[in-house]
Amino acid sequence: MEKESSARVTVTGIPQVGIVVRDIDSTVEAFWRILGIGPWTIYAWEPPTVYGRKYSGKPASAREKTAKTMVGELELELVQAVEGDSTYRDFIADRGEGLHHLKFLVDDVDEVADILTEQGFASLQSGRFGAPEHRGAFNYIQVDPLHTIWEPSHMGQGTGAEVIGHYPDT
């Protein structure tokens, strides 16, 4: 007989893997050329789409470029820090390019973040996105025993991020 987990947060799926890169354009081209992964949609991830952002617990503003594609049922996201302090910029400086986060979807990001921070895990960066009534939110939480950053997220009805390109061009 299987024991039930005592976890207060239950992850039922990981719909996205996030990788931090120095140069989105060359990275999407490499994924396409080497592994046939794509096509990619490239977005501006910045105010006013992203708001209420906190970095290390303090109000912050930053800009990133993101690129997304589906690989089967999994969304692959690339993130390039463009401007401002962020967990992505820290990651590149400390570790270089690589796997940054695993996303899991929740109904209430703040509730899940509170549970994880009560358990001693640090919130690195959080914020809101899209139309406020859609409740889009994210929080990057460093869960050291699991060797990665976990991102509870509520998607609402889309991000509202501006599409700034495609690869290959469509």
Q: Which tens digits make up the pLDDT trace of 69-98?
A: 999 999 999 999 999 999 999 999 999 999
Distance CA(152)–CA(157), nearest Å, equals 16
Phi, psi angles (nearest 5°) of residue 53? -75, 140
Partners of residue 127 on adjacent β-strands? 138
Average of pLDDT values for 31-40?
A: 97
Helix (H) or strand (E) holding 118: helix 109-118
Q: Is the pLDDT of residue 28 over 80?
A: yes
Q: Which 3 state secondary structure label does DSSP give 75?
A: strand
Average of pLDDT values for 37-66?
A: 95
Q: Which amino acid is located at 19 in the chain?
A: I
Q: Is the pLDDT of residue 160 over 80?
A: no
pLDDT for 150: 95
Domains in the chain, start-ordered, CATH in brackets? 16-158 (3.10.180.10)
Model pTM score? 0.91
Distance CA(152)–CA(141), nearest Å, equals 8
Helix (H) or strand (E) holding 24: helix 24-30
pLDDT for 125: 97
pLDDT for 1: 65
Structural contact between residues 52 and 127, judged by C-beta atoms closer than 8 angstroms: yes
161-165 long-range CB contacts below 8 Å, 24 or more apart?
161/43, 161/44, 161/45, 161/49, 161/66, 161/129, 162/43, 162/44, 162/49, 163/41, 163/42, 163/43, 164/42, 164/43, 164/44, 164/65, 165/41, 165/42
Confidence bin at 170 (pLDDT 50/70/90) = low
Q: Is the pLDDT of residue 30 over 80?
A: yes
* pLDDT tens-place string over residues 118-146: 999 999 999 999 888 888 899 999 999 99
